[in-house]
Structure 1
């Protein structure tokens, strides 16, 4: 446990070079895919180069499964690691796995043993000191040389140069903005201007910052990234120009009417049925955009009007019965598919008559035209029965 903040689960990332045994380590509070590739980038910059291949022990962020004795890698990880022209290799031999696991034992016995740390930042700072003054300079029991010395003499020149630009390790996600002007991400809340309430916005998170983009892909908010799972709120004063806009129907009227042509008459019925709580029902319906397409919600309005069911729960029941739920991720995939279609050449199917004509001409060239009287006439006429165009 840390002396200042108490008990916290911490994970150690280790990257060690196979020849010199020079090691890089860092500590994190999670083992997500994005954390993994960011620590790789830190290691590459620490060594000022990239190895040609890297060994892994089969973690899920790297390897999806084995199939017919061959590894099936995580495509997202392959996109990252090949950016640095590095080949991943998943090891299965116990002898090779020892080279991967032994450095963790060294860290535990030499760095962590009998030391206390105030918090994660203190642990990370101590680890950097330990790498520089201890790990790099100690005599390794296998090579009988200090890792830094052997690295500088023989291994550094064998590393590949770093690319001109690092791989973009940002996390990108779609989020429905709440009516009170917040986006939820990793249990934390980030403010945006009120006018984007109920809109589907794009969130891009680096390791230190969070950027939020409008539907027109313009930056509408910029925050410092909060710790994962902290349950905190980051609210910018410039996003809160008026307190009145937070409540009632008026702040969400435009977003509600944008759902489709049936939204306006449904809203009129909603106000007549719930003159004091129409805003609550409108907000509830707008939150359904996170699960259903706007077109489906619009058709639910039309169905509800036929039965005078002016109620948010009625819309939810209609959608459950008649619409297919979708995730925000499916929106991004659909947009990518449409963009790809624009770049591909359009392929038109030939009329079947052309294939019949082609087959008839081939038979004629093979000397079989004697079986077909009228060969000099229109090839579409007098075709054998099995070649007649349909």
Structure 2
């Protein structure tokens, strides 16, 4: 309304005409015109869009080159978005325009020995042991002098990534303060704008060598522009159009190219020779190489079973129960086995030696408290509960666990006797234990049968015995008497 009033005023309409045209008070018109002429025109407030909540998601999709239609479908699938496609289309157009307007960037300058940038570049297939294998070139370039190191590799694992760094630092004769890395799995576990999670082995290596690993921002190629240009240069100038009979010839060619071409040419950006700048201004400022060698640990992925163990080289090692069913990283370091989940160490064990198999290495603290109980703990609790029933029950317990052939899992029999208390009462169970002791019937079934038949209160005569002191033709196993009791043939 303010804009409309002032526009009409500038077109020659007087205040009364404007008031009649817009159906507003003449005083309001006068006040608006005075305010605008004194303070300037009021900026139109921008309206918030419902898609602002998904802005980062949409920007990432736009950077990947996805169409507005595809982004609309992804919003529906991943977030249950209920807005219209036309709204998404207009929003995507605005995002594209903003990205187009933000392609400008600052030139990032560094001090001598302050920074290096690393990356891989695919160079085709090279013959190894008579077979062609996919090959990449690892490149590290010093940001200040543009002095570079490169080598041929056949994978991008953590071990290879670290070894390439070691070779590069040895080539330079020292270490830089910061190494900028692309968001490779070998170096970065979790890509995050504010706090990326560095792969633990690479982080340990960086700590040992004294440099800071710095992941580049996603979709921001200018963060590592120097190494991207260097990789492109290596691929085109060193490898393009070349054919090698084997890997040895390819490596020799790359080594000579670095020394005779790449590091001694006049750099296109700095207009200086990288090797000359490196030797005169940068080399002496590098961090000294560590005295002790860094040994790369061997790691592998394993799944934790429901019994809270993982299998490693034929043996079983416990893991905290919270990680049952998850995949964890297992690292063998010397005589120890370290277990990691998302970069955090969750278990440490001594490795089983002498090539033994099938052994369980268990930390009881890895189980929940409800499961973390030993047989000895169970028997101790049962002793207390039998004592609560009575002295005869306690004596029955002591005789039961001392009998020949007792196995620890037989504690279930005692659990059964304790459970009889709820049905027959402590006194009846105690007397039943007394009667069972008299007949040396040290079993749950005997005590149960005595309680069921109601004979727990019958007297036990000390001068009579139902047990043969020695084996005779009349000897019967106690189990046969149990059967007679069940059949009702035996009364007392």
Greater RCO, 1 or 2 (C-alpha within 8 Å, sep 6+): 1
TM-score, normalised to structure 2, is: 0.37
TM-score, normalised to structure 1, is: 0.46
